[in-house]
Amino acid sequence: QVQLVESGGGLVQAGGSLRLSCAASGSFFSINTMGWYRQAPGKQRELVATITTGGSTNYADSVKGRFTISRDNVKNTVYLQMNSLKPEDTAAYYCNANLADLILKGIYSSYWGQGTQVTVSS
């Protein structure tokens, strides 16, 4: 019953910016860590950034200083502001959320969005 809906992907020139959004909806007690991952053709899915409920963040070295992850705990939404985009940032970006069960609050399950394509031209 949980769904993560992503938006904001698109085509942008190198040096440009995009803002990704991911909203969680459905039956759950709370959301713990949320994050963004990406996967380019022929490559493994890799971590981009994560953020805890309290706002602690973690970034891949390749995006530090360029990307900013944030969240709105009221809207159950996580964002990824991407600045100074490079062609190597081109990938399908996936939202991830760890949710506490509605009844068994100590049990967490991981959910994924459908992915949104980001393409950066040179």
Query: To which residue do tokens 């969680």 refer?
Result: 24
Both structure tokens of 36: 């963004």
Q: What is the pLDDT of residue 103?
A: 86
Does the pLDDT of residue 102 top 90, yes or no?
A: no
Nearest partner of 18 among 103, 117, 122, 100, judged by Cα: 117
Does the pLDDT of residue 1 top 90, yes or no?
A: no
Q: What is the pLDDT of residue 104?
A: 86
**12-51 tens-digit pLDDT:** 999 999 999 999 999 999 999 999 999 999 999 999 999 9
Average pLDDT, the chain: 96
Nearest partner of 47 among 101, 5, 95, 107, judged by Cα: 95
**52-70 tens-digit pLDDT:** 999 999 999 999 999 999 9
Q: What is the pLDDT of residue 33?
A: 96
d(CA 36, CA 46): 9
